[in-house]
Amino acid sequence: MNSKSRSVLLLIAAMIAWGSLYPVSKYIMTETNPLTLSFLRYFFGIAALTPFFIIEIRKNHNPILTKDLIIFMLTGFLGITIFAVFLFYGIKLSTASNGSIIANTQPLFTAILAPLLIHERINGFQIFGVVTGFFGMLLVVTGGSFSGLSFGSSVLTGNLLLAVAAVSMSIYSILLKSSIKKFGGMIPTYFTMAFGTVLLLIINIFTKGFFADLKVLTNPKDLILIICLGCVSTAFAYVLFNSSLKYIDVIRASGFKFLIPVSGVSLSIIFLKERPSIFVYAGILLVIISVIFIQSTSKRGLDKNKLIV
């Protein structure tokens, strides 16, 4: 099995792990607020990764420069802090099914932003995919009721927050591509997660009720679920996805994230008894079609994944 084939398997495993994030988060947020849960999720993720990080850093022969640390800090802010805050508030205001779909329409934004940040060109098929995916996401956001669009709607507000989370994660993956080619998946993942988690802690400290919300850790059932979020839906998923970027270009890798809604919706239906409308399923179909076109790449210029600075 070659490197690209192994990367595909890593991506599929990561998507299944990420899919469990949404229904579990929706359940736990009945016990604590999104900011607290965001911090705890990444805190336990960092704890799970630390032994593996120590092993990897000892094997690393590439010096970590100031430029690398700046990239880690920036990407950590975008892919951890911003993503986590908007994701969990989005899920709280929306539904777990929408959370698993909208926050992972990242291939659409990646196809738009990658040409601006790295040397990956976008062709006609990919443009068609972006347009198709946009309308698919619009169906998911509105549920087909376009006349009901209102910023006063908590569900719509939640959906918009989830869309912002998708954009921030897209930029995270794009900017981290060159670091992963240099260091592999573990070191960039750990540093970005560490920087992002510290920022989340600072935000939480200045948020009313943070220390009181930590009582959720005294409930054995909630504690187990939070640890699972940290280890499986966070540490495991981030490392697998980021590691795949060493061998697969960022647009193709991001396309696999459309497998997450399939897992997320299924788990939401089983455990949360959610019943998405027919328009939501139509939106899912459109975005899946869109990712097929986004996967279409030109033979020219797509392997030059050098960060533009």
Where do runs of H (alpha helix) occur along the chain?
A: 3-19, 21-28, 34-59, 66-76, 83-93, 96-102, 106-117, 124-142, 154-183, 186-205, 210-213, 220-230, 237-244, 250-255, 259-271, 278-294
Sequence-ordered list of residues with C-beta below 8 angstroms from that of 287, at least 6 positions apart, any chain: 101, 105, 108, 132, 133, 136, 137, 140, 258, 261
pLDDT in tens, 169-218: 999 999 999 899 999 999 999 999 999 999 999 999 988 888 988 988 89
The stretch 17-43 carries a mean pLDDT of 80
The stretch 55-64 carries a mean pLDDT of 91
Top-confidence residue, 299 or 58: 58
Q: Does the CA dihedral 24-97-293-173 come out positive or negative?
A: negative
Top-confidence residue, 16 or 296: 16
pLDDT in tens, 222-245: 899 899 899 998 999 999 999 988
Say which residue the tokens 């097929």 belong to.
292
pLDDT > 50? residue 299: no
CA angle in degrees (0–180, nearest 5) for 301-176-120: 15
pLDDT > 50? residue 47: yes
What pLDDT does 73 receive?
A: 95
Q: What is the value of pTM for the model shown? A: 0.80
pLDDT in tens, 106-140: 888 888 888 888 877 777 887 888 888 888 877 77
Separation between Cα atoms, residue 139 and residue 136, nearest integer Å? 5
Query: 3-class DSSP state for residue 304?
Result: strand
Contact 87, 229 (CB under 8 A): no
Assigned token pair, 36: 């607290």
The stretch 289-302 carries a mean pLDDT of 63
pLDDT in tens, 266-281: 666 676 676 777 887 8
Sequence-ordered list of residues with C-beta below 8 angstroms from that of 206, at least 6 positions apart, any chain: none
Q: CA 131 → CA 124, 199, 286, distances in Å?
A: 11, 35, 10
What pLDDT does 300 receive?
A: 44
Among 50, 93, 70, which residue's Cα sits nearest to residue 235? 50
pLDDT > 70? residue 289: yes
**Per-domain residue ranges for the chain?**
3-307
What pLDDT does 208 receive?
A: 84
